[in-house]
């Protein structure tokens, strides 16, 4: 379980950092700069942060389910 917590925290920190960078780029491109390219890069960065976070959550959930299944499969052999 500790391994899953470490991975979950890592995904959360990386996702949050990329999300903040994306929001900053989007706000800079939309309000300050006249270039629409920076706005698009900000939107893409935000979408990337969401994708990183969702994939990390998926991997953690998959790993937990596999651990449960492996424990369940080993139980009859110990009796």
Instruction: Look at the chain and report how many structural domains it folds into.
Output: 1
At 78, the pLDDT band (50, 70, 90 cuts) reads: low
Note the pTM of the prediction, 2 decimals.
0.81
CB 16, CB 52: distance < 8 Å: no
Nearest-angstrom CA–CA distance, 43 and 45: 5
Q: So what's the pLDDT on residue 79?
A: 56
Whether pLDDT at 77 is above 80: no
Tell me the residue range of the domain where 51 lies.
2-78
At 47, the pLDDT band (50, 70, 90 cuts) reads: very high
């Amino acid at each position: 379980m500790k391994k899953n917590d470490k991975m979950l925290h890592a995904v959360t920190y990386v996702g949050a950092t990329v999300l903040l960078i994306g929001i900053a780029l989007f706000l800079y491109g939309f309000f300050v700069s006249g270039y629409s390219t920076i706005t698009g890069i900000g939107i893409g960065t935000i979408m990337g942060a969401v994708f990183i976070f969702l994939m990390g959550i998926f991997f953690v959930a998959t790993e937990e389910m596999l651990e449960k299944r492996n424990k369940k499969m080993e139980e009859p052999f110990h009796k």
